[in-house]
């Protein structure tokens, strides 16, 4: 078993003297211990070193931790305590070796191995490639990067709040990867940030992606128009990954930390993150994911979502969905469904920007396939909270408030003439009638390929639409779905190209067609003046803690300074406070 410091300090390889000790624990196992003074390392480095040290055949278990108060408690709780650790400071490495041997030479072997690994670590950190600028004080880091806007904190949790305070005082946003920050500090710091127009992401925030820059755990996701907010790190990663698999991308993914939606915190950072994306011109769809929230906070967040003039997909894990859609808010219960819907709405928003919205106009569906007409009618009726007449007289699948969906393959239309999948004339006639129906703003169509169908169904539709547009003055939008494959005689891609050439928008499925139709006929409030959030223009990071995060940022072409943080006055809080007041 390997135990290592779960805090996140920065590497500092100054070599100093060792305090050594050996004593008996139990009947056979011996605890050999030593303290390496003044060598502050991060937890990942200690973990890798621990693995190497544990390979010695005489070592049963080994614990390598920085001498923070929390880690000392853990050493006692796990049976690795040694009196040598009493005087260790947070700048010192505490090493305890469990071994059956009473020979203290094991300590000398481990000491030598530790020195070698620390030397290798120092060498590797100065390695090849572009060097990361370094600073030993926050003020110096800001001087190195005057336009910095974010501090990424992965130091020991008991020190994270103080550093966050200092960052906020300098008008810097903060992401706290560290855990073990008190609830009281979290509430205070998040409220302080909100009052200053900033955001604190975390504590215990594992994932954030701003304008392509990875903060802590992140994936490379294509650029798109979906903004993501999450109180779940892996939830954000899975949602974004699924969005990418659906062929869409994101603008930003903003992490909140696992406690943000608790009753005590009340979603302070969630409200800020939603406001950021609401004011981001590049974000057209918002997706929200969280672990089970407090119900009162959930309702508060939904009310904020409803005030945003953008579609919002909300996934609150564990919440019962009583109403799947509430205004612009779509309530979903699984990550994969949320990703698919967000991707669909993303495509709708892209198409919307290329079309002619006709607010308060009517939708007309002219279908050759009966089942396609029926499903479209059901989707539209649900969106309008309307009932469908089950009689379907004259092939009418929906007739509500001027909106109509017709099955042109119904017996009423095929008496004495071929089915419209064979003879397109009946639909062409219905399209031409629209020259005298200015109330119709959106027409939904199907194009069905395959054996038995006409040789070029898209051409028949395109011809009729082109002729109509020559006669009609009012704007009108045509949306089509294509049923078939590239292996069909007509060839799916070829048919889609013909439709697009005629100005007909082709979508992937019937729900997407209906969603786009509703978007085109629904009035939208004019966008007011957007509140600026410079953070969304791109992060410039001061990284306090794990150097690996800085290296990832540099690899992603993000400006970063490595703040080589260490506890002030060796972790002596009384002395640190005195020094603070002397400044």
Question: How do residues 24-77 score in pLDDT, each as one tens digit?
Answer: 555 467 888 889 988 888 777 787 888 888 888 888 888 888 888 888 888 888
Query: How many C-beta atoms surround the C-beta of residue 517 within 10 A?
Result: 28
Provide the edge-to-edge strand list for the sheet that holds 134-135. Answer: 134-135, 560-563, 541-544, 150-153, 173-176, 200-201
> Which CATH number belongs to the domain containing residue 166 in this structure?
3.40.50.261
From residue 258, alpha-carbon distances to 58, 80, 82, 201, 334 in Å are 41, 31, 35, 10, 18
What pLDDT does 57 receive?
Answer: 85
| 45 or 238: which leads in pLDDT | 238
Query: Which pLDDT band holds residue 15 (cuts at 50, 70, 90)?
Result: very low
- Give tens-digit pLDDT for 115-173: 888 888 777 765 545 789 999 999 999 999 999 999 999 998 889 999 999 999 999 99
Average pLDDT, the chain: 89
Reduced to 3 states (helix: H, G, I; strand: E, B; else coil), residue 180 is: coil
Q: Which residues contact 502 (CB under 8 A, 6 or more apart)?
A: 461, 462, 463, 465, 466, 478
- Position 580 scores a pLDDT of 62
Backbone phi, then psi, for 537, in 5-degree steps?
-80, -10
SS3 assignment, position 4: strand
199 and 326 housed in the same domain: yes
| Closest by Cα among 23, 29, 9 to 85 | 23
**Predicted confidence band at 389 (pLDDT cuts at 50, 70, 90)?**
confident
Residues 348 and 236 in one domain: yes
Contacts of 473 (CB under 8 A, 6+ apart): none
Backbone angles phi, psi at 189, to 5 degrees: -70, -40
Question: How far, in Å, CA of 112 to CA of 133, rounded?
Answer: 31
Residue 579 lies in a domain: no
Residue range 278-324, pLDDT digits in tens: 999 999 999 999 989 999 999 999 999 999 999 999 999 988 776 68
DSSP, res 514: H
Look at residue 6 and tell me whether its pLDDT is greater than 90: no
**Domain end point (choices 495, 521, 547):** 521
Does a structural domain hold residue 563? no
Closest CA to 312 of 281, 278, 282: 278
410 & 482 share domain: yes
With respect to residue 555, please indicate whether it lies within any of the assigned structural domains. Answer: no
Least confident of 379-388, 411-420, 523-532, 572-581: 572-581
Tell me the β-bridge partners of 97: 32, 62
Claim to verify: residue 393 and residue 453 sit in the same structural domain? yes
Domain boundary among 319, 352, 385: 352
- Helices of type H across 128-227: 138-144, 157-169, 183-195
Length of the chain: 583
Same domain, 342 and 390: no
Identify the burial level of 323 via C-beta atoms within 10 angstroms of its C-beta, where 0-12 means exposed, 13-18 middle and 19 or more buried. Answer: exposed
pLDDT at 17: 44
Of 243, 252, 133, 145, the residue nearest 199 (C-alpha): 252
In contact, 520 and 441? CB cutoff 8 Å? yes
Task: Please check whether residue 559 lies inside any domain of the structure.
Answer: no
pLDDT at residue 12, rounded to an integer: 35
The average pLDDT across 234-246 equals 97
Query: What phi and psi, each to the nearest 5 degrees, are found at residue 345?
Result: -65, -35
Q: Is residue 526 part of a domain?
A: no
Label residues 268-304 b or e (16+ Cβ within 10 Å = b).
bbbbbbbbbbbbbeebbbbbbbbbebeeebbebbbeb
Q: How far apart are CA 319 and CA 321, in angstroms?
A: 6
Judged by DSSP in three states, 397 sits in strand
Select from 298, 329, 352 the last residue of a domain.
Answer: 352
Query: Residue 395: which of 371, 424, 417 has the closest Cα?
Result: 371
Position 557 in a domain: no
For residues 331 and 372, membership in a common domain is answered with no
Q: Tell whether 92 and 174 lie within a shared domain.
A: no
Burial 135-148 (b: 16+ CB within 10 A, else e): beebeebbeebeeb
First to last CA, the chain: 45
Q: By C-alpha distance, which of 395, 427, 397, 389 is closest to 410? A: 395
Please give the tally of structural domains in the chain. Answer: 3
Q: pLDDT band at residue 576, thresholds of 50, 70 and 90?
A: low
Confidence of residue 273 (pLDDT cuts 50, 70, 90): very high
pLDDT of residue 562: 96
Range of the domain at 220: 138-352
Tell me the whole-structure pTM to 2 decimals. 0.85
Q: In this structure, are residues 189 and 199 in contact, taking their beta carbons and an 8 Å threshold? A: no
Give the three-state DSSP class for 327.
coil
Do 162 and 245 share a structural domain?
Answer: yes
Of 152, 293, 169, which Cα lies nearest the Cα of 218? 152
Asked if 582 contacts 46 with a C-beta cutoff of 8 angstroms, the reply is no
- Residue 300 covered by a domain: yes
Annotate 255-285 with DSSP letters as a single string: E--TTTTSTTTTTHHHHHHHHHHHT-TT--E
d(CA 9, CA 159): 10
Q: What is the rounded CA–CA span in Å between residue 331 and residue 337?
A: 10
Shared-domain flag, residues 185 and 253: yes
CA distance 374 to 367: 9
Contacts (Cβ under 8 Å, ≥6 apart) of 573: none
CB-based contacts of 337, cutoff 8 Å, min separation 6: none
The residue with greater pLDDT, 355 or 73, is 355
What would the mean pLDDT of 379-398 be, rounded to a whole number? 90
Residues 56 and 160 in one domain: no
Judge if 90 and 184 occupy the same domain: no
Domain annotation covers residue 131: no
Pairing type for strands 200-201 and 2-4 reads unpaired
Same domain (yes/no): 228, 309: yes
359-367: average pLDDT: 98
């Amino acid at each position: 078993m390997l135990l290592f410091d779960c805090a996140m300090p920065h590497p500092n390889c100054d070599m100093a003297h060792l305090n050594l000790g050996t004593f008996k624990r139990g009947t056979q196992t011996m605890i050999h211990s030593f303290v390496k003074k003044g060598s502050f390392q991060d937890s990942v480095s200690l973990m890798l070193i621990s693995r190497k040290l544990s390979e010695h055949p005489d070592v049963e278990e080994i614990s390598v931790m920085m001498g923070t108060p929390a880690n000392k408690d853990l050493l006692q709780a796990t049976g690795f305590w040694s009196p040598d650790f009493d005087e260790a400071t947070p700048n010192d490495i505490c090493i305890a070796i469990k071994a059956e041997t009473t020979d203290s030479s094991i300590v000398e072997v481990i000491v030598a191995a530790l020195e070698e690994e620390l030397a290798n670590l120092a060498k590797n950190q100065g390695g090849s490639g572009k060097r990361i600028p370094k600073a030993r004080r926050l003020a110096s880091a800001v001087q190195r990067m005057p336009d910095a806007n974010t501090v990424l904190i992965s130091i020991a949790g008991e020190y994270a709040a103080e550093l966050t305070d200092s960052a906020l005082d300098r008008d810097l946003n903060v992401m706290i990867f560290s855990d073990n920050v008190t609830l009281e500090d979290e509430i205070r710091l998040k409220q302080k940030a909100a009052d200053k127009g900033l955001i604190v992401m975390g504590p215990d925030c594992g994932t954030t992606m701003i304008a392509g820059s990875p903060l802590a755990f992140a994936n490379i996701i294509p650029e798109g128009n979906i903004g993501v907010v999450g109180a779940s790190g892996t939830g954000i990663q899975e949602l974004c990954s699924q969005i990418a698999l659906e062929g869409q991308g994101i603008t930003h993914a903003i992490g909140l930390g696992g406690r943000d939606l608790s009753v005590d915190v009340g979603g302070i950072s969630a409200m800020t993150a939603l406001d950021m994306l609401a004011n981001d011109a590049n974000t057209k769809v918002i997706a929200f994911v969280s672990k089970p929230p407090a119900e009162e906070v959930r309702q508060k967040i939904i009310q904020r979502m409803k005030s945003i003039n953008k579609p919002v997909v909300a996934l609150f894990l564990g919440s019962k969905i009583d109403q799947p859609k509430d205004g612009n808010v779509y309530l979903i219960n699984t990550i994969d469904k949320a990703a698919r819907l967000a991707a669909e709405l993303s495509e709708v928003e892209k198409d919307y920007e290329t079309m002619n919205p006709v607010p308060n106009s009517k939708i007309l569906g002219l279908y050759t396939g009966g089942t396609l007409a029926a499903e479209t009618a059901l989707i539209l009726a649900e969106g309008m909270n309307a009932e469908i007449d089950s009689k379907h007289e004259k092939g009418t699948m929906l007739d509500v408030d001027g909106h109509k969906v017709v099955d042109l393959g119904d017996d009423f239309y095929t008496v004495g003439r071929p089915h419209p999948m064979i003879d397109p004339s009946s639909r062409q006639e219905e399209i031409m009638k629209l020259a005298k129906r200015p109330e119709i703003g959106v027409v939904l169509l199907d194009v069905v390929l395959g054996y038995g169908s006409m040789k070029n169904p898209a051409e028949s539709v395109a011809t009729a639409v082109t002729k109509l547009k020559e006669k009609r003055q009012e704007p009108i939008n045509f949306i089509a779905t294509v049923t078939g494959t590239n292996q069909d005689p007509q060839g799916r891609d070829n048919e889609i190209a013909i439709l697009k050439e005629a100005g007909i928008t082709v979508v992937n499925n019937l729900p997407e067609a209906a969603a786009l139709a509703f978007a085109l006929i629904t009035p939208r409030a004019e966008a007011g003046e957007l509140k600026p959030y410079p953070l969304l223009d791109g992060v410039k990071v001061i990284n306090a803690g794990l150097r690996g995060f800085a290296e990832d940022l540099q690899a992603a072409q993000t400006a970063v300074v490595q703040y080589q943080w260490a506890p002030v006055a060796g972790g002596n809080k009384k002395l640190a406070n005195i020094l603070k007041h002397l400044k």
